[in-house]
């Protein structure tokens, strides 16, 4: 502007931006996507867009007049002031004059900038994240949400590090401005909580000129408002112009959040550095659209962010960010802190409520707001798990009462009571429509502008990202076109549906499915083969969903009795009459089908392919939730024990602390506060199992001294001859069930080979279903597939369970190879820890874990490929959380990394969350974890996600530990002996920290069998620890 009063001075420009001298070029560039509507805002027509090449759009060839600069800003992240952040992976190219004013061009994924933290990043953007940014932002634009536009995505290779070239993506973006709340936080004083200081503290003159610049450019009407109520003494009076500037930003932000809420969308990362000063939706790396209505849905970020920024908390999180902006602008508006905080809250809430109510009124097609109707709808959607997008789309049906079937189709709860509730609400909705005299055409016209048919669901984004990574640009463009036309049903209707409802998965490359890949791929899709194999059972039948929604009719009195017995004995028996399973499930058909599967060479657990097994799983899920609060963990098995044979030998299903807990965990780790076990098994016989067959035997909890004992070395309650008197038989009739705790000491009796009538002894057939507290043992796969997963998921789970329990001597090598391939087909949908453990179990079984002929001949990933992939994962997870990486160093040849990280806010919970995610990202292969209470840091020795073992000597461990500890001021290294494998710590180091180091490393070495060639007596040559060192 020519007006000197609003011109940014040179010093202010330095505060807002840092100049970027040049960009590192990308090689082998290719244009994946471009947005014609986005370029149209720049005044570029279709012909101009088509003439632009990848090099022009990724920064290799800059437009005339480009001025490269990176935005400078601070930010509050997850509630803590993080200090200076700035654009570490984006640059402004300058502004473009357009008919409506100016648009700033911004290149994301540009490479190194003055704000790039080289220890955690290269300034490049993962290709999949680049594609997601463009798909989400352009879909939001098509939905009418204020948003920064994405003009183009380019794929390329950064070869600046010749040892680790990076395949990445750039996004060319445009917006009137990319200024954020954090742009005004660069002048904050030292933060009293984190102790961090902004780069330009206490400079109100800079703040004033920046605010004046914003008003001049974007809110010129505000310049008519007086600067101060008392022009003679402005320092002692409220400055209405700057107060109104703040409140305009607050109102815009509130309207943006209301738009997200109406769409069932979650931004997922509402830090102040991700909040636009213009109220635009900005930075969509964690953005997600809700499917099943769940107020706790938090997008795709890390757990702490999902909780903080979930759908329910999203408006409050945005309000909190607005209040932080008010604090930053306090030198301008001069309001008292308590006063401005309250005023911002009042303005935000009033604006949000008005916008949300109006948006929901339009989504319901009404002329007037009906609060009771709206609130009852949202409560019903939450209770039944209705799909947000499909429900509102279905409500436009005429008459509304006809929408009941369509809405119920996409609900999590599909029982008769759920349908009845929906029928009642729809009847009430019809009455309100009639009362407001809204015609069918008016209602449909209003709703068609508010209720999209298609939104960027998570699975659609994943599909597009995979296509981009595989070089299938046409598929990415096709999906992009679907998403930017949200009001139309796509040619493939499944793309408008929630993923779990489609009963489909992406097709898989047979080359990825092990040595029997081609056959496995055919079996995964051949529904006819599996139906013909067991014709008495159902497979993917629509009516099966209704049976899943109906639980067992066990009254409250019987439930209380069962729970009391379970607490006392660790096991309780449920009679067939109390379950009445045969009303929905043909148990004889299940038993016959297990026999048919076995006769064809398939393991018994493949019975979980069929609907009847999943109907049973759904019913027992509800029963076990009622008894313990646990939820299904997908540890499902089928048992077939022939006459004269035994079941599993005496054992407990889980240690007190769970599979990955401490072997010395207290009893509280394995039990809820009310005494209910955190892991429960339902054992369900398909045939009568009397005491003469291979029935279960146990030592009841009340006579088992080790049931809640934390000593892992003492577990056997029947070591003495007299202890046999404690043993109890657990016969069970067909259609009944045994429910028992993970701590019950139990086994399968050796059945009588000859029956009492002189005939052959009895065959034992049974199914088992397990439920666990998620903190005790996470589910083996996502529960989003429930109640009736697609065929591929069912096959993968059945195969995984067969492999996990090591039935290597029971089935042919071909069968086990096929099981391995079936698991690989869906490995991405399983818990990473379970997948890692299964890989090791399969390797121990001697199964070929390589691919088929094509895969075996292809060149394996290079050392640098592995390093690059793991570095990228670690950097990404740290960046998302606001965790500061002090170092990521390679050790042990190809196998280990040493990661040292610090929480700027001193938040240990944040660091534990980072550690948990890193465990998952590195396939749960962690070595030593060092937690420093002094510096709030965590050091990790982590595997590269490469399953092949190689030699790692004691010196390697010690060298990395030494390097880590010497960088931590809370430790003092007195001496080290890399040949012996020892590091001597200062005696002042906390005993708990040393003990944690020792226990963690010992656990790693012993339980994960890192050194299979060393027996227990040799372990000190690998590692040893004592009171003073490790």
Q: Out of 236-240, 406-410, 600-604, 627-631, which region has the weakest mean confidence (pLDDT)?
A: 236-240
Return the pLDDT at 919. 59
Q: Per the structure block, which two tokens stand in for 654?
A: 């889980």
Instruction: Name the pLDDT band for 712 (thresholds 50, 70, 90).
Output: low
Contact yes or no for 485/495 (Cβ under 8 A) = no
Return the pLDDT at 1001. 52
Contact yes or no for 647/764 (Cβ under 8 A) = yes
**Rounded percentage of the chain residues whose pLDDT exceeds 70:** 77
Q: Out of 416-430, 651-665, 1001-1015, which region has the weakest mean confidence (pLDDT)?
A: 1001-1015
Task: Give yes or no for residue 153 having a pLDDT over 90.
Answer: yes
**Cis bond before residue 787 (omega within 30° of 0):** yes
Return the pLDDT at 303. 67
Task: Give yes or no for residue 863 having a pLDDT over 50.
Answer: no
Task: Give yes or no for residue 181 having a pLDDT over 60.
Answer: yes
Average pLDDT over residues 448-472: 91
Return the pLDDT at 204. 87
**Cis bond before residue 399 (omega within 30° of 0):** yes
Element (DSSP H or E) covering residue 870: helix 863-881
Comparing CA positions, the residue from 985, 986, 983 lying closest to residue 958 is 983
**Maximum average pLDDT range among 114-118, 696-700, 926-930:** 696-700
Average pLDDT over residues 231-239: 57
Average pLDDT over residues 126-144: 95
Residue for token pair 């329990």: 805
Task: Name which residue leads in pLDDT, 68 or 919.
Answer: 68
Return the pLDDT at 819. 92
**Distance separating the N- and C-terminal Cα atoms of the chain:** 65
Task: Name which residue leads in pLDDT, 86 or 302.
Answer: 86
Average pLDDT over residues 565-575: 95
pLDDT one-digit tens code per residue, 533-549: 999 999 988 778 778 87
Q: Which ranges of 294-394 would DSSP assign to H, the alpha helix?
A: 303-308, 314-328, 330-333, 337-364, 371-384, 388-394
Task: Give yes or no for residue 741 having a pLDDT over 50.
Answer: yes
Instruction: Name the pLDDT band for 951 (thresholds 50, 70, 90).
Output: very low
Residue for token pair 């409250």: 556
Residue for token pair 């004995």: 569
3-state secondary structure 971-997: CCEEEEECCCCEEEECCCCCHHHHHHH
Instruction: Name the pLDDT band for 551 (thresholds 50, 70, 90).
Output: confident
pLDDT one-digit tens code per residue, 881-892: 677 765 554 433
Q: Out of 104-113, 180-189, 653-662, 915-924, which region has the weakest mean confidence (pLDDT)?
A: 915-924
**Crossing angle of helices 337-364/240-263, nearest 10°?**
40
d(CA 608, CA 794): 6
Task: Give yes or no for residue 718 having a pLDDT over 70.
Answer: yes
Q: Is the dihedral of CA 724, 728, 731, 737 positive or negative?
A: negative
Task: Give yes or no for residue 1014 having a pLDDT over 60.
Answer: no
Return the pLDDT at 1021. 28
Q: Which ranges of 22-179 would DSSP assign to H, the alpha helix?
A: 36-40, 46-51, 54-58, 127-142
Q: Out of 109-113, 402-406, 840-844, which region has the weakest mean confidence (pLDDT)?
A: 840-844
Task: Give yes or no for residue 710 having a pLDDT over 90.
Answer: no
Q: Out of 10-14, 359-363, 372-376, 417-421, which region has the weakest mean confidence (pLDDT)?
A: 10-14
Burial of 812 (0-12, 13-18, 19+ CB in 10 A): exposed
Comparing CA positions, the residue from 161, 325, 195 lying closest to residue 251 is 325
Comparing CA positions, the residue from 548, 464, 528, 458 lying closest to residue 500 is 458
Instruction: Name the pLDDT band for 988 (thresholds 50, 70, 90).
Output: very low
Average pLDDT over residues 909-937: 52
Q: Out of 22-31, 442-451, 934-943, which region has the weakest mean confidence (pLDDT)?
A: 934-943
Average pLDDT over residues 21-33: 92
Average pLDDT over residues 502-512: 64
Element (DSSP H or E) covering residue 29: strand 27-34
pLDDT one-digit tens code per residue, 354-380: 999 999 999 999 999 999 999 999 999
Task: Give yes or no for residue 156 having a pLDDT over 90.
Answer: yes
What is residue 681's three-state secondary structure? strand
Spatial neighbors of 624 by CB under 8 A, at least 6 apart, are 630, 631, 632, 680, 682, 739, 769, 771
Give the count of beta carbons closer than 10 Å to the beta carbon of residue 986: 13
Average pLDDT over residues 143-164: 89
pLDDT one-digit tens code per residue, 247-289: 999 999 999 999 999 999 999 999 999 999 999 999 999 999 9
Q: Per the structure block, which two tokens stand in for 516?
A: 């029997």
Return the pLDDT at 359. 97
Instruction: Name the pLDDT band for 100 (thresholds 50, 70, 90).
Output: confident
**Maximum average pLDDT range among 182-191, 345-354, 823-832, 853-862:** 345-354
Spatial neighbors of 24 by CB under 8 A, at least 6 apart, are 111, 112, 158, 160
Spatial neighbors of 651 by CB under 8 A, at least 6 apart, are 745, 746, 747
Comparing CA positions, the residue from 825, 501, 830 lying closest to residue 635 is 830
Catalytic residue IDs: 273
pLDDT averaged over the chain?
Answer: 81
Burial of 364 (0-12, 13-18, 19+ CB in 10 A): buried
Return the pLDDT at 687. 95
Average pLDDT over residues 642-662: 83
Contact yes or no for 460/492 (Cβ under 8 A) = no
**Rounded percentage of the chain residues whose pLDDT exceeds 90:** 49
């Amino acid at each position: 502007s020519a007006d000197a009063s609003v011109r940014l001075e040179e010093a202010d420009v330095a505060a807002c931006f840092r100049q970027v001298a040049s960009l590192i070029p990308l090689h082998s560039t290719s244009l994946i996507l471009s947005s014609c509507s986005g370029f149209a805002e720049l005044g570029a027509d279709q012909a101009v867009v088509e003439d632009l090449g990848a090099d022009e759009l990724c920064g290799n060839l800059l437009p005339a007049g480009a001025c490269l600069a990176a935005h400078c800003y601070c930010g509050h992240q997850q509630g803590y002031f993080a200090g200076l952040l700035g654009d570490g992976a984006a640059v402004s190219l300058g502004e473009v004059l357009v008919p409506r004013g100016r648009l700033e061009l911004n290149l994301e994924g540009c490479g190194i900038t003055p704000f790039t933290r080289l220890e955690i990043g290269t300034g490049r953007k993962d290709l999949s994240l680049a594609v997601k940014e463009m798909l989400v932002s352009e879909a939001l634009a098509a939905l009418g949400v204020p948003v920064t536009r994405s003009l183009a995505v380019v794929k390329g290779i950064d070869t600046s590090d010749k040892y680790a070239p990076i395949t990445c993506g750039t996004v060319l973006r445009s917006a009137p401005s990319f200024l954020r709340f954090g742009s005004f936080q660069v002048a904050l004083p030292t933060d009293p909580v984190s102790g961090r200081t902004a780069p330009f503290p206490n400079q109100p003159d800079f703040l004033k000129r920046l605010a004046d610049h914003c008003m001049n450019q974007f809110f010129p009407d505000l310049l008519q408002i007086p600067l101060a109520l008392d022009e003679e003494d402005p320092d002692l009076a409220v400055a209405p112009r700057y107060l109104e500037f703040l409140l305009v930003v607050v109102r815009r932000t509130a309207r943006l959040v209301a738009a997200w809420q109406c769409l069932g969308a979650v931004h997922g990362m509402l830090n102040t550095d991700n909040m636009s000063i213009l109220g635009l939706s900005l930075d969509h790396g964690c953005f997600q659209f809700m499917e099943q209505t769940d107020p706790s849905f938090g997008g795709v970020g890390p757990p702490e962010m999902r909780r903080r920024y979930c759908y329910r908390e999203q408006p409050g999180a945005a309000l909190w960010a607005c209040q932080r902006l008010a604090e930053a602008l306090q030198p301008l508006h001069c309001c008292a802190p308590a006063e401005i905080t309250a005023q911002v809250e009042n303005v935000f809430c009033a604006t949000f409520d008005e916008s949300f109510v109006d948006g929901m009124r339009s989504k319901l097609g009404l002329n007037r707001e009906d609060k009771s109707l709206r609130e009852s709808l949202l409560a019903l959607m939450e209770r039944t798990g209705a799909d947000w997008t499909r429900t509102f789309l279905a409500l436009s049906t005429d008459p509304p009462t006809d929408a009941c079937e369509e809405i119920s189709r996409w609900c999590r709860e599909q029982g008769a009571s759920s349908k009845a509730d929906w029928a009642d609400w729809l009847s009430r909705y019809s009455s309100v429509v009639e009362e407001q005299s809204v015609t069918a055409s008016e209602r449909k016209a209003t709703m068609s502008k508010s209720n999209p048919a298609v939104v960027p669901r998570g699975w659609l984004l994943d599909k597009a990202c995979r296509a981009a990574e595989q070089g299938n640009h046409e598929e990415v463009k096709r999906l992009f076109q679907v998403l930017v036309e949200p009001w139309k049903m796509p040619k493939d209707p499944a793309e408008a549906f929630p993923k779990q409802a489609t009963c489909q998965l992406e097709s898989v490359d047979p080359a990825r499915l092990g040595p029997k890949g081609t056959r496995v791929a055919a079996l995964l899709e051949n529904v006819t083969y599996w139906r013909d194999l067991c014709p008495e059972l159902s497979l993917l039948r629509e009516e099966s969903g209704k049976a899943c929604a109906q639980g067992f009719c066990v009254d409250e009195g019987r439930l209380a009795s069962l729970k009391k017995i379970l607490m006392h004995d660790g096991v309780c028996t449920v009679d067939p009459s109390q379950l009445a399973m045969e009303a929905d499930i043909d148990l004889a058909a299940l038993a016959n089908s297990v026999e048919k599967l076995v006769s064809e060479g398939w393991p018994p657990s493949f019975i979980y392919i069929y609907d009847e097994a999943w109907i049973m799983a759904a019913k027992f899920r509800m029963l076990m939730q009622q008894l313990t609060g646990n939820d299904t963990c997908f540890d499902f098995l089928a048992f077939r024990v022939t006459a004269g044979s035994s079941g599993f030998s005496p054992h407990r299903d889980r240690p007190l602390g769970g599979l990955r807990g401490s072997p010395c965990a207290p009893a509280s780790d394995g039990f809820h506060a009310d005494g209910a076990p955190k892991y429960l098994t339902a054992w369900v016989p398909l045939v009568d199992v009397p005491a003469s067959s291979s029935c279960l035997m146990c030592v009841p909890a009340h006579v088992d001294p080790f049931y809640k004992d934390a000593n892992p070395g003492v577990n056997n309650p029947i070591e003495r001859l007299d202890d046999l008197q404690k043993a109890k038989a657990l016969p069970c009739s067909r259609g009944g069930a045994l429910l028992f705790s993970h701590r019950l000491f139990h086994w399968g009796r050796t059945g009588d080979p000859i029956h009492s009538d002189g005939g052959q002894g009895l065959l034992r057939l049974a199914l088992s279903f397990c439920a666990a507290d998620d903190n005790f043992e996470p589910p083996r796969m996502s529960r989003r597939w429930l109640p009736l997963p697609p065929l591929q998921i069912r096959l993968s789970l059945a195969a995984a369970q067969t492999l996990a329990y090591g039935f290597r001597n029971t089935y042919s090598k071909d069968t086990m190879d096929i099981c391995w391939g079936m698991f690989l087909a869906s490995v991405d949908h399983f818990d990473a820890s379970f997948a890692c453990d299964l890989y090791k179990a399969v390797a121990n079984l001697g199964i070929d874990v390589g691919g088929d002929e094509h895969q075996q001949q292809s060149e394996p990933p290079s050392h640098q490929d592995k390093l690059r992939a793991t570095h990228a994962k670690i950097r990404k997870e740290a960046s998302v959380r606001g965790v500061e990486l002090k170092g990521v160093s390679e050790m042990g040849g190809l196998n280990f990394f040493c990661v040292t990280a610090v929480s700027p806010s001193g938040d240990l919970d944040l660091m534990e969350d980072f550690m948990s995610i890193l465990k998952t990202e590195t396939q749960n292969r962690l070595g030593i974890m060092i937690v420093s209470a002094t510096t709030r840091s965590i050091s990790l020795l982590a595997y590269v996600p490469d399953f092949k073992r190689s030699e790692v000597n004691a010196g390697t461990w010690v060298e990395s530990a030494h390097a880590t500890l010497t960088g931590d001021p809370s430790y003092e290294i007195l001496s080290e002996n890399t040949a012996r494998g020892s590091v001597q710590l200062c005696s002042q180091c906390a005993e708990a920290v040393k003990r944690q180091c020792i226990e963690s490393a010992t656990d790693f070495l012993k339980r994960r069998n890192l050194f299979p060639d060393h027996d227990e007596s040799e372990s000190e040559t690998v590692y040893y620890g004592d009171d003073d060192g490790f």
